[in-house]
Chain A
Amino acid sequence: NAGVTQTPKFRVLKTGQSMTLLCAQDMNHEYMYWYRQDPGMGLRLIHYSVGEGTTAKGEVPDGYNVSRLKKQNFLLGLESAAPSQTSVYFCASSRDYEQYFGPGTRLTVT
């Protein structure tokens, strides 16, 4: 039982490049979330999903897109990366109020 896994762990992008972050969970959770955490700050919700095929905007959705084609996977896309998107990205899943977080992806945009 791996819990929540994230791919990749680290990535460096140039401004304007695109990439997709993959989140996978093996707990059969309905809810999945993407957060970003900037240095010394709390986490901010980017997008979330309440079930397969559904997504919704969180607190800071601009510049990101998401898809939940399979229940166990939640993808976060950056179409045209900007330096302001340099951050650590965390994925989480939940059945109810307790969210389980992945190890994070450290993204640097130069």
Chain B
Amino acid sequence: LAKTTQPISMDSYEGQEVNITCSHNNIATNDYITWYQQFPSQGPRFIIQGYKTKVTNEVASLFIPADRKSSTLSLPRVSLSDTAVYYCLVGDGRAAAGNKLTFGGGTRVLVKP
């Protein structure tokens, strides 16, 4: 399973854009990149998933360069409620693999007023 490296923590202010970069040098051909968000005392919540280039949904964007050795989660105009731990996961996206996830330590994002 590909190992991921992401910053331990980041601080930001309300209204700013937060970019979290994840390194995954050993990503395999069948691997997808997925990001989850976790609030204290809650289970993680899916944010976004991508394979290459750029993916955008209503809450975030995911940028993946051509070599796929890293990815960047972008949270536009964060609010206090975006304070959470964000996990970058890389794993085989095929159903036959069981859609298993391997969580690393995550990035603690603190949004200040």
* Residues of A that sit less than 8 Å from B by CB: 4, 31, 33, 35, 41-45, 48, 50, 56, 58-59, 90, 92, 94, 96-104
Knowing A48-B98, A50-B98, A102-B43, say if A97 contacts B49 (CB, 8 Å). yes
Docked-complex contact A56 and B98, CB < 8 angstroms:
yes
Residues of A contacting B44 in the complex (Cβ-Cβ under 8 angstroms): 43, 90, 99, 101
In this complex, what residue of B is CB-closest to A106?
Answer: B41
> A56 CA to B46 CA in the complex, in Å?
23
Docked-complex contact B102 and A45, CB < 8 angstroms:
yes
B61: shortest Cβ distance to chain A, in Å? Answer: 17
Q: What 5 pairs between A and B have smallest CB-CB spacing?
A: A101-B43, A42-B103, A43-B103, A98-B46, A90-B43
Knowing A42-B106, A103-B42, A104-B41, say if A31 contacts B101 (CB, 8 Å). no
Docked-complex contact A98 and B43, CB < 8 angstroms:
no
Interface range on chain B (Cβ under 8 Å from partner): 20 to 34
> A104 CA to B41 CA in the complex, in Å?
8
Docked-complex contact B32 and A97, CB < 8 angstroms:
yes
Residues of B contacting A35 in the complex (Cβ-Cβ under 8 angstroms): 103
Select B99's contact among A4, A90, A96, beta carbons within 8 Å.
A96
A8: shortest Cβ distance to chain B, in Å? Answer: 15
Docked-complex contact B45 and A42, CB < 8 angstroms:
no
Select A58's contact among B32, B41, B49, B100, beta carbons within 8 Å.
B100
A53: shortest Cβ distance to chain B, in Å? Answer: 15
> A45 CA to B30 CA in the complex, in Å?
20
In this complex, what residue of A is CB-closest to B45?
Answer: A101
> A100 CA to B101 CA in the complex, in Å?
12
By CB atoms of chain A within 10 A, which of B45, B46, B49 has the most? B46
Question: From residue 86 to 102 of chain B, which have CB atoms closer than 8 A to chain A?
Answer: 87, 93, 95, 98-102
Docked-complex contact A99 and B41, CB < 8 angstroms:
no
> A47 CA to B110 CA in the complex, in Å?
32
